[in-house]
Amino acid sequence: MTATDIPDSVDAYAEGPLYAPAKKVYPQKVSGTFRHIKWILLVLCLGIYYLLPFARWDRGPNAPNQAVLVDLAHSRFYFFFIELWPQEVYYFTGLLILAALALFLSNALFGRVWCGYSCPQTVWTDLFLTVERFFEGDRRDRIKLDEAPWTVDKFRKRVAKHAVWLLVAWWTGGVWVLYFSDAPTLVRDLATARAPISAYVWIGILTFTTYYLAGHMREQVCLYMCPWPRIQAALTDTEALNVSYRRDRGEPRMSLKDAGRAHAAALPAGDCIDCHQCVAVCPTGVDIRKGSQLGCIQCGLCIDACDAVMARVHRPIRLIGYDTDENIKRRARGEPAIYRLVRSRTILYAGLMVVVSALMLFQLTARPHMGLSVLHVRAPMYTATKDEGVRNGYTLRLSNKWSESRKFAIEVSGLKDASIKSVEADALPDGRLAISVDPDATVEAQLYVTAPRAALEGSSQPIVVKATDLISGENVSVSDHFFGP
Amino acid sequence: MAKTEHTPVDPVSGMATTGHEWDGIRELNTPLPRWWLWTFYATILFSAVYWLAYPAWPHIWGFTGGVLGYSTRGQVATDLGDIKAVRASMEGALATATVAEIAQDKKLLALALAHGKASFAENCAPCHGSGGQGSKGYRNLTNDDWLWGGTLDAIETTITHGIRADYDKNTRTSMMPAFGKDGILKADEIKEVVNYLRTLSKLPPEPGVDIAAGKKIFADNCAACHGDEGRGNVELGAPNLTDGLQLYGSSLKDLTQTIAFARNSTMPAWGARLDPVTIKALTVYVHSLGGGQ
């Protein structure tokens, strides 16, 4: 028995074997409206990425003046006017939720605009393709060059291309580390080989990933690695604007000659002349005429390609354009197209974004500039003193989020005749104890509370420790317990 | 290797087969990917280089050291040296300042407390407890019932020279007689003085015991060191007997044993073991535990 005797098993391979080596895509150069938009966004996105570390933001003498800085050594995150401490990392959760909602909203409105225009994978792949095109020529030249035997010229082209790719990748990695340290200082240290070894390691890692993902893997990242196309397919609906081939207008596709014959015979002929330009320019190598598909990142380059062809053959442009599945069906039925950008889901996503943004803004503006935590000393739980007193120890952690030194008065309430002391504190003129905290810092102090045994109400009673900022009057109270025999 | 024969190609996948066939099932020839193979060879090469460069193979008398002379112990020594160098400036400030100066300067204090906390855990906690809470026979350092004084200077002296540490000539020393063992007091007299001591700490005495007799015995035998009212004397390390915070307990049994046999416990002279900076740090730390005077 051979494989051909089993029809089912052959059918299973009808669309090719389960594993097939990836076919190399040779995107052709194209110009037009969407290519233009993509150029602008590419310059904008890369410009922000490459220049942002050098942006300055004055925060006073005791804080770094880099606008965007992830200061791992001092565990602080700076973003223009925002400074986050490690305990405020939850704030990033809000940002991530906001980012997800923005993605969902953009998807409900315009499909995969994120993929097509601003995803780093798309942007850097675009940049790398431009470099490749510069050295090796357009689609046909590159296909020929790949097939050609090795010559000095081919070698020269390849070396030049990879060298520039590596340079771009290295530059990308080099900028990445600048977000984690003072950028001008680090640039000088890197140039004079005095930067920390971790900086070089990270540059190396980012150089490799950029070079490999944007230069070699390209569309395969979108096809095989990225989860978003899968999620997107489940989230989208038939009213979302997608880059679509208007098959109601294009089919039946046929060459210009055939179309002429069909017209003469009064037979139907579509506008698509089957020139394959849309496929040739596609950076992921899909055929848009097969409809929305996982491989299509909806970058709109096929629109530009098709428009150019339609203009040349004197047919209306936008045979491929931003359209909805529903409209294609409507037109096929002879109904007018309806664009419904305001739908229940777009309202929901936009509403959720407003709610989350408002919550985050409130959280950010209402958060205190100080922090206090109190931890009861466990060894010993309490100490009996020789004059019939009972003493409890507490470990205080006081945070000062101002960019200047602050003093915090410490008071304890809930315990009769209690006295407090701390070696870390100073006495204020009014008799209260005060602890100084350096700018943007946390100090730990031991607080001892002593009360006469006769004043205790039981073996455990609640007390409140209060810290008050002497300048702003802001205060934080923390409840704890006082233990006795 | 078998001689190369014509290998049939699988019509479905288009791949070459191994030429073997079992009951109609043929095996596709899927060689190891080239990158995998080269990575494998590279790791073999790497291990050979590693064996030469680093400690690798054990043998009967030890192990191959490697030409780079690397060892984890050496690395630790280097790292410790680096840390000492980093700390040198701060430790230098601690070395020149007195304990009183350290207590006044908030920066030095914070440094000394951190140093002291770590050193306390290493050297003192086994007897005095993790938080200085002590236990029977080992002083609770968080109260204010100091035997030899609770000022910074007194604490520094005690830590440096120890208590009854016979190898340190400046050690804190005093000797309470074993009143029962040495035959100074009879059992009845010990019972009377124990009950008198209980009343000093406001604890109930045994019924039917002559407290007045106990007071007389105390005045004759104990007051010389512990004071007429039993309030103790830090010059002699004689404890205050009126506060109910006795090192060896205030029960009848504990007190009887203390008077009959005496305790006279010891503490090492840490000056012989620790450097002066560590002792200063420990002094400031112990003083900060709540009972410092």
Distance of alpha carbon A156 from alpha carbon B156, whole angstroms = 78
Domain boundaries, chain A: 33-91+104-229, 370-483
Model pLDDT for residues A307-333, shown as the tens digit of each residue: 999 999 999 999 999 999 999 999 989
- In this structure, the answer to whether residues B145 and B271 fall within a common structural domain is yes
> B239, B222 in Cβ contact below 8 A?
no
Question: Mutate which of A383, A420, A433, A436 to disrupt the B interface (most B C-beta within 10 Å)?
Answer: A383
Radius of gyration of chain B (CA): 37
Distance of alpha carbon A286 from alpha carbon B88, whole angstroms = 66
Mean of pLDDT values over A171-190 = 94
> A394, A374 in Cβ contact below 8 A?
yes
Chain B residues touching residue A387 (CB < 8 angstroms): 243
Q: What is the DSSP string of A332-387?
A: HTTPPP------HHHHHHHHHHHHHHHHHHHHHHHS-SEEEEEEE--SSS-EE-TT
Model pLDDT for residues A252-274, shown as the tens digit of each residue: 899 999 998 998 988 888 999 99
- Predicted local confidence at residue B10, as pLDDT: 81
Q: Name the amino acid, one letter, at A338.
A: I
Which position has the token pair 């002391």?
A421
What band does A14 get if pLDDT is binned at 50, 70 and 90?
low
- Predicted local confidence at residue A7, as pLDDT: 43
Distance of alpha carbon B108 from alpha carbon B281, whole angstroms = 10
- Predicted local confidence at residue B2, as pLDDT: 44
Query: Closest-CA residue in chain B for A425?
Result: B106
> A98, A356 in Cβ contact below 8 A?
yes
Listed by number, the residues of chain B in 127-166 with a beta carbon closer than 8 Å to a beta carbon of chain A are 129-133, 140, 142-145
> A145, A286 in Cβ contact below 8 A?
no
Edge-to-edge order in the sheet of strand A475-483: A426-427, A433-437, A406-413, A460-469, A475-483
- In this structure, the answer to whether residues B162 and B212 fall within a common structural domain is no
pLDDT for A200 beyond 80 = yes
Residues facing residue A239 across a β-bridge: none
- Predicted local confidence at residue A345, as pLDDT: 93
- Per the prediction, chain A carries an average pLDDT of 91
Q: Is residue B134 part of a domain?
A: yes
Residues facing residue A475 across a β-bridge: A468
- In this structure, the answer to whether residues B279 and B253 fall within a common structural domain is no
Q: What percent of chain A has pLDDT over 70?
A: 96
> B240, B233 in Cβ contact below 8 A?
no
Question: Mutate which of A386, A408, A421 to disrupt the B interface (most B C-beta within 10 Å)?
Answer: A386
Give the nearest partner residue to A423 out of B10, B13, B103, using CB atoms: B103
- In this structure, the answer to whether residues B201 and B222 fall within a common structural domain is yes
Mean of pLDDT values over A182-199 = 93
Distance of alpha carbon A74 from alpha carbon A152, whole angstroms = 53
> A62, A439 in Cβ contact below 8 A?
yes
Q: Is residue B250 part of a domain?
A: yes
Closest to A64 in 3D by CA, of A206, A176, A184, A174 = A184
- CATH superfamily, domain A370-483, is Immunoglobulins (2.60.40.10)
> A309, A273 in Cβ contact below 8 A?
yes
pLDDT for A466 beyond 90 = yes
What band does A245 get if pLDDT is binned at 50, 70 and 90?
very high
What separation in angstroms does the CA of B18 have from each of A17, B26, B30, B32? 19, 8, 9, 14
Instruction: Provide the greatest CA pair distance for chain A.
Output: 118
Model pLDDT for residues B102-118, shown as the tens digit of each residue: 999 988 999 999 999 99
Listed by number, the residues of chain B in 212-251 with a beta carbon closer than 8 Å to a beta carbon of chain A are 240, 243-245
Give the nearest partner residue to A391 out of B113, B243, B290, using CB atoms: B290
Residue B101 contacts A, CB cutoff 8 Å = no
Would you state the structure tokens that stand for residue A226, as one six-digit string? 């990225």
Model pLDDT for residues B16-69, shown as the tens digit of each residue: 888 888 888 888 888 899 999 999 999 999 999 999 999 999 999 989 888 998
- Predicted local confidence at residue A15, as pLDDT: 61
Model pLDDT for residues A409-427, shown as the tens digit of each residue: 999 999 999 999 999 999 9
Q: Are the beta carbons of B129 and A380 separated by less than 8 Å?
A: yes
Residue B33 contacts A, CB cutoff 8 Å = no
Q: Are the beta carbons of B13 and A1 separated by less than 8 Å?
A: no
pLDDT for A6 beyond 50 = no
Give the nearest partner residue to B245 out of A2, A384, A393, using CB atoms: A384
Query: Closest-CA residue in chain A for B288?
Result: A423
- In this structure, the answer to whether residues B78 and B104 fall within a common structural domain is yes
DSSP structural state of residue B73: H
Which position has the token pair 């601690």?
B94
- In this structure, the answer to whether residues B101 and B243 fall within a common structural domain is no
Q: Are strands A320-323 and B17-22 parallel, antiparallel or unpaired?
A: unpaired
Residue B110 contacts A, CB cutoff 8 Å = yes
- Predicted local confidence at residue A452, as pLDDT: 94
pLDDT for A18 beyond 70 = no
Chain B residues touching residue A393 (CB < 8 angstroms): 131, 142, 289-290
Would you state the structure tokens that stand for residue B266, as one six-digit string? 């010891």
- Predicted local confidence at residue A431, as pLDDT: 86
Question: Would you give the distance in Å from CA B202 to the centre of its chain?
Answer: 36
Torsion sign (Cα): B114, B115, B118, B123: negative
Model pLDDT for residues A33-83, shown as the tens digit of each residue: 999 999 999 999 999 999 999 999 998 888 899 999 999 988 999 999 889
Residues with pLDDT less than 70, chain B: 1-7
Expressed as residue numbers, the domain containing B248 is 187-261
Distance of alpha carbon A448 from alpha carbon A194, whole angstroms = 48
Give the nearest partner residue to B131 out of A10, A377, A387, using CB atoms: A377
Closest to A107 in 3D by CA, of A355, A348, A357, A360 = A348
Mean of pLDDT values over A373-396 = 93
**Triad A133, A134, A139: Cα angle to 5°:** 25
- In this structure, the answer to whether residues B227 and B276 fall within a common structural domain is no
Total domains in the fold of chain B: 2
CATH, residue B134: 1.10.760.10
Q: Is residue B67 part of a domain?
A: no
Model pLDDT for residues A105-126, shown as the tens digit of each residue: 999 999 999 999 999 999 999 9
Query: Closest-CA residue in chain A for B133?
Result: A380
pLDDT for A4 beyond 70 = no
Mean of pLDDT values over A12-35 = 80
Q: Are the beta carbons of B106 and A384 separated by less than 8 Å?
A: no
- In this structure, the answer to whether residues B91 and B220 fall within a common structural domain is no
What separation in angstroms does the CA of A289 have from each of A109, A319, A322, A478, B135? 21, 10, 13, 66, 85
Mean of pLDDT values over A279-295 = 92
In chain B, beta strands by DSSP E: 17-22, 25-28, 58-59, 62-63
- In this structure, the answer to whether residues B240 and B210 fall within a common structural domain is yes
Q: Are the beta carbons of B144 and A385 separated by less than 8 Å?
A: yes
pLDDT for A3 beyond 60 = no
Would you state the structure tokens that stand for residue A287, as one six-digit string? 């055929």
- Predicted local confidence at residue A30, as pLDDT: 95
- Predicted local confidence at residue A1, as pLDDT: 38
Q: Are the beta carbons of B143 and A436 separated by less than 8 Å?
A: no
> A435, A407 in Cβ contact below 8 A?
yes
- Percentage helix, strand, coil, to 5, in chain A? 45, 20, 35
Distance of alpha carbon B100 from alpha carbon B113, whole angstroms = 13
Respond yes or no on whether ipTM tops 0.85: no
- In this structure, the answer to whether residues B160 and B280 fall within a common structural domain is yes
Give the nearest partner residue to B12 out of A1, A13, A436, using CB atoms: A13
- In this structure, the answer to whether residues B195 and B145 fall within a common structural domain is no
> A405, A428 in Cβ contact below 8 A?
no
Burial A400-426 (b: 16+ CB within 10 A, else e): bbbeeebbbbbebeebeebebbbbbbe
Give the nearest partner residue to A446 out of B24, B106, B288, using CB atoms: B288
Count other C-beta atoms under 10 Å from residue A265's C-beta. Answer: 8
Q: Are the beta carbons of B130 and A383 separated by less than 8 Å?
A: no
- In this structure, the answer to whether residues B196 and B154 fall within a common structural domain is no
Distance of alpha carbon A222 from alpha carbon A243, whole angstroms = 17
Q: Is residue B221 part of a domain?
A: yes
Would you state the structure tokens that stand for residue B102, as one six-digit string? 């350290």
Would you state the structure tokens that stand for residue A5, as one six-digit string? 């005797």
Q: Are the beta carbons of A17 and B106 separated by less than 8 Å?
A: no
pTM, two decimals, is 0.76
Give the nearest partner residue to B143 out of A3, A384, A424, using CB atoms: A384
Burial A179-217 (b: 16+ CB within 10 A, else e): ebbbbeebbeebeeeebeeebeebbeebbebbbebbbeb
Q: Are the beta carbons of B145 and A386 separated by less than 8 Å?
A: yes
Mean of pLDDT values over A125-129 = 96
Query: Helices B106-123 & B72-96, crossing angle to 10 degrees?
Result: 130
Q: Own/partner pairs for B106-110, CB < 8 Å, 24+ apart?
A: B106/A424, B106/A436, B109/A423, B109/A424, B109/B284, B110/A424, B110/A443
Closest to B177 in 3D by CA, of B240, B238, B243, B244 = B238
Q: What percent of chain B has pLDDT over 90?
A: 73
Distance of alpha carbon A105 from alpha carbon A342, whole angstroms = 11
Closest to B255 in 3D by CA, of B243, B247, B265, B264 = B247
Chain B residues touching residue A9 (CB < 8 angstroms): 12
Q: Is residue B177 part of a domain?
A: no
